[in-house]
Amino acid sequence: MQDPGGRLVVAEAQRKDADYLKVVTMHMRPGYLQKNGAPYSGNAIVEEYFDKFSDPYTRNTWLAVTTVVTDPQYLIEPLIMHAHFKKIPDAAGWDPTPCSANEPR
């Protein structure tokens, strides 16, 4: 659910009962699905599902993010993308840098 300012609002009851968080984004500005990729229109709908789970054998915690892009103008069928992230106990591998469009990392 969104408030009048367009921000996501999740009711307390939904936070307790849900196995995942679903975020729906509509009324976007036209753009591209990825760099040098296919375009999407202002009528596109993006649904994101955030699911946190633990592996009982290795005791690792994972975050799975599933993104579904629906755009009848440019896509024949919904585009589904997945990303998985493993929680690490410390900051190993964490090297944040400022965003820059013209400088390679």
Decide if 7 is inside a domain: no
Is residue 3 scored above 70 in pLDDT? no
Mean pLDDT of the chain: 81
Report residue 87 as tokens.
Answer: 């929680």
Decide if 6 is inside a domain: no
pLDDT of residue 20: 77
Decide if 1 is inside a domain: no
Decide if 91 is inside a domain: no
Into how many domains does the chain fold?
Answer: 1
17's enclosing H/E stretch is helix 12-17
Residue 50 lies in domain: 12-86
Decide if 53 is inside a domain: yes
DSSP-assigned letters across all residues of 53-72: EE-TTT--EEEEEEEEEE-T
47's enclosing H/E stretch is strand 45-54
Fill in the DSSP letter of residue 2: B
Decide if 93 is inside a domain: no
Is residue 88 scored above 90 in pLDDT? no
For the segment 19-67, what is each residue's pLDDT rounded down to a tens digit?
678 999 999 899 999 888 899 999 999 999 998 888 778 888 888 999 9
pTM value is 0.67
Rounded mean pLDDT, 65-86 = 93
Decide if 25 is inside a domain: yes
